[in-house]
Amino acid sequence: MEENIRYIIEGYSTNSLENVKSSLKNSFKLDADVIIKKRSKYKVSISFRTSPEEKIRDCSDLDEFFSRLGIMITRIIIARVVTYALESTLDSAATGGVTGGAAFKRLDVGSLIAALSGLAGYTVGNIVEKTEEIILFCEKRNGKCIKIGKTI
């Protein structure tokens, strides 16, 4: 069991996403692989995890960083998560106290449900994460990133 910071970025891109992983690895101290999912022809979801010692970026910093990569951000979720190794779904749910939301494949939905309900975890690759708190939640409205959740 370890604590990490999970970033979930949703947005639109017309560019190739090949350079996103390398740019993130050069700019952040990552704890795990970057997960990039194309939701439709243009809509993308990017998720990555850093250590809790890493400086938490502000919405405007993230918006500027991703705009240089050709991604227009629509939503940012930054959450403090507890990560459990996945031996088997039932074992990790019993030993880690994680229930429910392991069936969710969308990271943003799993993260919000886990944080707001206080009872769910979700799977990311071969690990189970339980959201302890949402640190920051932003949406882009009228060209500006607006903090909706907690501030740093």
84 lies in some domain = no
51 lies in some domain = yes
Which conformational region is residue 149 in: left (phi greater than 0), alpha (psi within -120 to 50 degrees), or beta?
beta
103 lies in some domain = no
What value does the mean pLDDT take over residues 61-81? 92
Instruction: Give the domain extent around 31.
Output: 2-79+134-147
DSSP annotation of 125 reads T
119 lies in some domain = no
What value does the mean pLDDT take over residues 69-91? 79
- Both tokens of 40, joined, read 């439709």
What value does the mean pLDDT take over residues 78-101? 58
42 lies in some domain = yes
Structurally, the chain folds into a number of domains equal to: 1
CATH of the domain at 52: 3.30.70
The 3-state DSSP class for residue 86 equals: coil
Least confident of 3-7, 8-12, 60-64, 94-98: 94-98
110 lies in some domain = no
